[in-house]
Amino acid sequence: MAPQLDSYFKQVDGLSDNFIDRLRKAVAIPSISADDERRPDVVKMGKFLASELRALGAHVEERPLGKQPHKEHLELPPVIVARYGNDKNKRTILVYGHYDVQPANKEDGWATEPFELSIDDKGRMFGRGSTDDKGPVLGWINCIEAHLKAGVDFPVNLLMCFEGMEEYGSEGLDDFITAEAKGFFKDADAVCISDNYWLGTEKPCLTYGLRGCNYYSIAISGPGQDLHSGVFGGSAQEPMTDIVRVMGSLVDTDGNIQIPGLKDLVAPVTEEEKSLYGDISYTMDNLYESLGSKTSIFEDKERTLMARWRFPSLSLHGIEGAFSAAGAKTVIPAKVVGKFSIRTVPNMQIDEVNELVYKHVKAEFAKLKSKNTLDVSLQHAGMWWVASPKHWNFSAAGKAVEKVWGVKPDLTREGGSIPVTLTFEQATGKNVLLLPMGSSTDAAHSINEKLDKRNYIEGIKLQGAYLHYVAEEPLS
Amino acid sequence: MAPQLDSYFKQVDGLSDNFIDRLRKAVAIPSISADDERRPDVVKMGKFLASELRALGAHVEERPLGKQPHKEHLELPPVIVARYGNDKNKRTILVYGHYDVQPANKEDGWATEPFELSIDDKGRMFGRGSTDDKGPVLGWINCIEAHLKAGVDFPVNLLMCFEGMEEYGSEGLDDFITAEAKGFFKDADAVCISDNYWLGTEKPCLTYGLRGCNYYSIAISGPGQDLHSGVFGGSAQEPMTDIVRVMGSLVDTDGNIQIPGLKDLVAPVTEEEKSLYGDISYTMDNLYESLGSKTSIFEDKERTLMARWRFPSLSLHGIEGAFSAAGAKTVIPAKVVGKFSIRTVPNMQIDEVNELVYKHVKAEFAKLKSKNTLDVSLQHAGMWWVASPKHWNFSAAGKAVEKVWGVKPDLTREGGSIPVTLTFEQATGKNVLLLPMGSSTDAAHSINEKLDKRNYIEGIKLQGAYLHYVAEEPLS
Ligand SMILES: [Zn+2]
Ligand SMILES: [Zn+2]
Ligand SMILES: [Zn+2]
Ligand SMILES: [Zn+2]
């Protein structure tokens, strides 16, 4: 039986000014986790969420994470965990979001004050954190309020986990989640994370996969200190000469990774999978617009999306220790560290990839017959994640999208990683769904970040509808 | 007839404490030209030289150079020009030096206060500017004083040109020299520059050649802004991928420049020239010590010195616009600018080299079949310089070295450039000699810069003796 959502939806529309006001208050708190001096504002933002939730009758705990690693004078902001409802006959859904934001300064080029919510005549609500991730986090709170005011029974028990350090590496969160999987989160039947974006601007999506990332350093050193190229050029072997050659051996202009054996680790594309890409609402013009150029590798959407979602890629990020400023400096750098990363996909295992990378880099360096010294190492690694989109968690979300937006959602994967996703899956053993609220044009992490009023209000409806459909899904 | 130098030499020995005191006063003035806030100290240092010279009876002018380009609120320090003697029957020698210094902070690792002259038990006089270039500049002043006090007739008319912006690109100096070549400097019969170093620590040298330098940028751009490698890796062509491949095509680990046609521009080595290198006082251990490693290209001194002095070299300096900090950042840089330079030697002309570089870089980029955009350009160029070491200016200096040090000097070239050398040669049309005072271990531009007491005092004798021998050289 389809859930009755009309009075809930009507209530959301009726409260929309209140909900926008709640977002305005949240955006006004500059909770920048990367800025030590803003730490009190991050804490203030956490307390704001806690007090809003308590006012609606939720049980809330502000859980400390201790001192910040490498910055022992700073206390990490608390994780705000909350429970709304405790009915053994209902399913329990754990939702995650973050209340910290990226840095923002008007001088970076913002058209409006970044910490004042500014709504234009197209309904675009500009402000740092509007879409990443305050809008989606407040969505769950708004959802509770609308149910209360509409007098509609809340369909599930809701567990909430809102952190304040996501934009700074989620310091301390992994251990917390792992510990609470058997504690505060132990009743969770499934997880829903609202911290990503639609593929385009018109069609909602559900996200069931993310690529992993192995990040490497190649250090090449020779002389005891930087040298003057006039004095030593021609008589010393130069680490820069070696490193560009080694880095040049990793990938070609068309993105083909040159590391022998790496392709063999990638799961083959099935016919069923291939057929999924054609229907996805995405065009090459979408890509060109987000690139700001036509310098794509492929000319068709299918191969572009597959390259982004289900094939590995290798990017060279830069060289540490060399001259990197504007102007001209005639230095021979003594030690240079090349940085690159490989985005990984099923079934690439971190260690297998490491082994192939090390072998290839060492072989390429050996070819140079250089007297310099090479050191190649993994800086960090995060695994890829792929969930089953046939799980009831996804079916429920799919039906909710159809109800709210009138279309079946695209099932998408993402090229980047959201490490907390895998942590939740591994710690709880439950299905994890990524349910985005904002669209591809929201400019999270950039100047003029925004959330469209439509995405916010319909997103609140979607979050509520999702919980209702979840309640009705048969046990699998 | 060999000049009578005994009473001059004796006087220099007798005044050595005074001369060290004069150096102490000069080192105490932190005349850092790169530091805007030290500009008054640079001016103070210029005025110190002017007043010392006036006290000895020289005619001195403090010549303004106007505002500093790009820093219009700052007045450039004056060029101190001076004339000592105006006898039509004597030769006139123009000497150049600079009274500004490199930055220095105790915290950078200095063992002593950088702006206090500290003399250790080996006679090493530590202090910023001691060897670069206050010691050599004061040498000429000391030379005048010792002649006066010894009652020895000064053998030449001495023109002096001491600038205060050498460590910051000699702003404004070229135009000044060109203008004064027919003015203040018009009587000069030869030029002597004391602003470089011995090849080693035991044997003096005269320097007759410098390499030039063509400095290039290779800009490769694609996307409209930096991209996230998770989202776009695999679907966009990356400028970093292209630039390491283009940079990797320029030179190999053993310093062989890969640009077709470049070698053909280099003057062939003559048998006579080849024979000069064997005698030069230099060992591979000297090289290893200054490199701080054994990562040399060659295993023998002859090829090492030729590679440094008379063959071109190509060094890769770094990449602007890419990630260059410590740590890990998953950026795809949108525009990267590779920097490299070619040290040039006879008979490489700036334009010929440019043409070959542009052609090669464009051809290598074309091979990549990339959609990105390439721009290669010359950032700046300075010509190589080679003087005739058979000119009377060099013969006189050679005899002076033999008189003071008891050995024939090595005739050397240098790998780096001292642009003012070529400016003087071209503006005056006269022979230019580089007559170093300090040794290879003086650490100019580094922490713990020093000048050995021996090099200072014997250097003053050498400067005076040089002027006496100059006076006796037959007209050529
Ligand atoms: Zn986020
Ligand atoms: Zn974010
Ligand atoms: Zn100097
Ligand atoms: Zn210098």
CB nearest to A322's CB, from B290, B317, B334: B317
Q: Any chain A CB within 8 A of the CB of B339?
A: yes
Q: What pLDDT is attached to residue A417?
A: 87
Structure token pair of residue A168: 């700074």
Q: Any chain B CB within 8 A of the CB of A339?
A: yes
In A227-358, DSSP assigns E strands to 227-228, 313-320, 331-332, 335-344
Q: What pLDDT is attached to residue A186?
A: 97
The per-residue DSSP string of B295-343 comes to: -BS-SSHHHHHHHHHTS-EEEEEEEESS--SSS---EE-SEEEEEEEEE
Cα A287 to Cα A281: distance, rounded to the nearest angstrom: 12
Q: Any chain A CB within 8 A of the CB of B88?
A: no
Confidence of residue A105 (pLDDT cuts 50, 70, 90): very high
Average pLDDT over residues B39-46: 98
Confidence of residue B196 (pLDDT cuts 50, 70, 90): very high
CB nearest to A293's CB, from B224, B240, B295: B224
* A417 CA: distance to closest CA in chain B (Å): 7
Q: Which ligand is nearest to the CA of A443?
A: 2
Q: Judge if A2-210+384-472 and A213-266+311-382 fold alike in CATH terms.
A: no
d(CA A102, ligand 1 centre) in Å: 9
Residues of B in contact with A418 (CB under 8 A): none
Average pLDDT, chain B: 96
Model pLDDT for residues B112-138, shown as the tens digit of each residue = 999 999 999 999 999 999 999 999 999
d(CA A354, ligand 2 centre) in Å: 28
Q: Is the dihedral of CA A283, A287, A290, A295 positive or negative?
A: negative
Kindly determine whether residue A318 and residue B240, on different chains, have CB atoms separated by under 8 Å. yes
Cα A129 to Cα B7: distance, rounded to the nearest angstrom: 83
Q: Express as a percent the part of chain A with pLDDT over 70.
A: 100
Model pLDDT for residues A127-184, shown as the tens digit of each residue = 999 999 999 999 999 999 999 999 999 999 999 999 999 999 898 999 999 999 999 9
Q: Any chain B CB within 8 A of the CB of A209?
A: no
Residues with CB under 5 A from ligand 2 (ion): A 132
ipTM of the complex: 0.91
Cα B96 to Cα A278: distance, rounded to the nearest angstrom: 75
Domain range list for chain B: 2-210+384-472, 213-266+311-382
Q: What pLDDT is attached to residue B1?
A: 60
CATH superfamily assigned to domain A2-210+384-472 = Zn peptidases (3.40.630.10)
Cα B195 to Cα B418: distance, rounded to the nearest angstrom: 9
Kindly determine whether residue A343 and residue B229, on different chains, have CB atoms separated by under 8 Å. yes
* The total number of residues written for chain B in this structure: 476
Kindly determine whether residue A240 and residue B333, on different chains, have CB atoms separated by under 8 Å. no
Model pLDDT for residues A68-88, shown as the tens digit of each residue = 998 999 999 999 999 999 999
Is A166 one of the annotated active-site residues of the chain? yes
d(CA B267, ligand 3 centre) in Å: 29
Second-level CATH architecture of A213-266+311-382: 2-Layer Sandwich (3.30)
Residue type, A3: P
Confidence of residue B338 (pLDDT cuts 50, 70, 90): very high
Is A100 one of the annotated active-site residues of the chain? yes
Spatial CA neighbour of B391 closest among B346, B339, B435, B433: B433
Cα B272 to Cα B265: distance, rounded to the nearest angstrom: 20
Average pLDDT over residues B171-180: 96
Burial category of B126 from C-beta neighbours within 10 Å (exposed 0-12, middle 13-18, buried 19 and up): buried
The per-residue DSSP string of A200-228 comes to: SSSS-EEEEEE-EEEEEEEEEE-SSS-EE
Say whether A50 sits in a helix, a strand or coil: helix
* A106 CA: distance to closest CA in chain B (Å): 19
Q: Any chain A CB within 8 A of the CB of B314?
A: yes
Q: What pLDDT is attached to residue A273?
A: 86
Residues contributing to the annotated binding site of B for substrate: 195, 228, 330, 343, 417, 445
Cα A372 to Cα A374: distance, rounded to the nearest angstrom: 7
Residue of B70, B168, B244, B379 to mutate, testing the A interface (most A Cβ within 10 Å of its Cβ): B244
pLDDT at A476 over 70: no
Residue B173: C-alpha distances to residues A354, A471, B163, B164, B445 (Å): 56, 82, 8, 10, 21
Catalytic residue among A166, A410, A414, A442: A166
Say whether B17 sits in a helix, a strand or coil: helix
Average pLDDT over residues B258-268: 98
CB nearest to A317's CB, from B255, B311, B322: B322
CB B241 within 8 A of CB B226: no
- Which residues are A79's β-sheet partners? A63
pTM of this prediction?
A: 0.90
pLDDT at B476 over 70: no
Model pLDDT for residues A5-64, shown as the tens digit of each residue = 999 999 999 999 999 999 999 999 999 999 999 999 999 999 999 999 999 999 999 999
Residue of A293, A306, A335 to mutate, testing the B interface (most B Cβ within 10 Å of its Cβ): A293
Neighbours of B275 (CB within 10 A): 9
Low-confidence winner among A100-109, A399-408, B295-304 (lowest mean pLDDT) = A100-109
pLDDT at A1 over 90: no
Which stretches within A249-313 are classed as H helix? 271-278, 284-291, 301-309
* B380 CA: distance to closest CA in chain A (Å): 8
Q: Express as a percent the part of chain B with pLDDT over 90.
A: 92
Q: What pLDDT is attached to residue A272?
A: 86
